[in-house]
């Protein structure tokens, strides 16, 4: 099902926006919020993935507010097909599920907003979409430059440049994050930590190897967080971190770590 709306005399800078959700009440709520935001102009709604693709072809929206879970073609499928177009719209996922975040940002989604949606949260996401619209398309990198992690009732954007250590915890990884210049906390550790549903091997494959190195089956370090290497005897080596902590290097990874040091 699709519905096309008449254009109104709004500022040219407003984003032509398509709302896609299979729940009528969710569509209505999003429309009400959007009506209060001058930065966007809702030009249509769709209640399933196939309809979303048809309507986006006709309306050429600048922005799609996209539900994740829909019958047949889900939000990821829609975003994937939109990304294949010559001039794809920006995508903001609006969903009740936080465990699709990694896949969503692999598709270069602008943001990932959890339901129930608040006007302030959606407004922040749209501000990011407007900023992105004004940027020139940079050369695509195969490496991650940001991660989105669940925190309380929303997802936080974490710049990969702020991650200095990653530890495996079963099916999750724990990100140790410190913004530039951030002071150590009361425990003597700098920054914050967040859990992300992702295997350490899967994340390692998507991190720039010139900036990160795996030193153990359960540990990845940012290279510039390593102060030096220490030989503890009997073939055992440790990586000394900037905060003075020493982490043992796994035998499987020792040759690669030594190569980093020119050994």
Residue 134 pLDDT: 58
Distance between CA 51 and CA 57 in Å, rounded? 10
Q: How confident is the model over 180-208, as a mean pLDDT?
A: 72
CA dihedral 151, 154, 159, 163 (to 10 degrees): 10
62: which strand partners?
Answer: none
Look over the chain and give the mean of its residue pLDDT values, rounded to a whole number. Answer: 85
For the segment 33-42, what is each residue's pLDDT rounded down to a tens digit?
A: 999 988 899 9
Query: What domains are defined for the chain?
Result: 2-140 (3.40.50.2300), 157-260 (2.40.50.1020)
Residue 149 pLDDT: 86
Q: How confident is the model over 141-159, as a mean pLDDT?
A: 81
Q: 197: burial class by Cβ within 10 Å (0-12, 13-18, 19+)?
A: middle
Lowest mean pLDDT: which of 49-53, 81-85, 190-194? 190-194
Please confirm whether the linkage preceding 47 is cis (ω < 30° from 0). no
Residue 190 pLDDT: 53
- The DSSP result for 4-51, as a single string, is E-------TTSEEEEEE-S-HHHHHHHHHHHHT-TTEEEEEEESSHHH
Residue 135 pLDDT: 53
Residue 24 pLDDT: 94
């Amino acid at each position: 099902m699709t519905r096309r709306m008449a254009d109104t005399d709004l500022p040219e800078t407003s984003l032509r926006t398509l709302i896609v959700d299979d729940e009528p009440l969710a569509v209505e709520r999003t429309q009400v919020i959007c009506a209060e935001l001058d930065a966007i102009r809702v030009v249509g709604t769709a209640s399933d993935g196939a309809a979303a693709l048809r309507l986006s072809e006709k309306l050429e929206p600048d922005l799609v507010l996209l539900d994740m879970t829909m019958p047949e073609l889900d939000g990821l499928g829609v975003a994937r097909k939109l990304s294949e177009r010559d001039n794809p719209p920006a995508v903001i996922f609006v969903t009740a599920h936080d465990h699709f975040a990694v896949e969503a940002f692999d598709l270069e989604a602008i943001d990932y907003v959890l339901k129930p949606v608040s006007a302030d949260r959606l407004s922040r996401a749209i501000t990011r979409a407007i900023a992105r619209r004004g940027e020139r398309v940079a050369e695509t990198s195969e490496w991650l430059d940001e991660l989105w992690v669940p925190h309380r009732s929303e997802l936080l954007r974490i710049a990969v440049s702020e991650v200095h250590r990653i530890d495996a915890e079963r099916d999750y990884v724990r990100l140790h994050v410190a913004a530039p210049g951030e002071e150590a906390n009361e425990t003597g550790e700098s920054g914050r930590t967040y859990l992300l549903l992702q295997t350490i091997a899967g994340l390692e494959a998507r991190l720039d190897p010139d900036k990160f190195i795996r030193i153990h089956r359960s540990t990845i370090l940012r290279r510039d967080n390593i102060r030096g290497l220490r030989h503890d005897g009997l073939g055992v080596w440790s990586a000394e971190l900037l905060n003075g902590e020493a982490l043992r290097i796994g035998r499987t990874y020792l040759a690669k770590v030594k190569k980093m040091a020119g050994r």
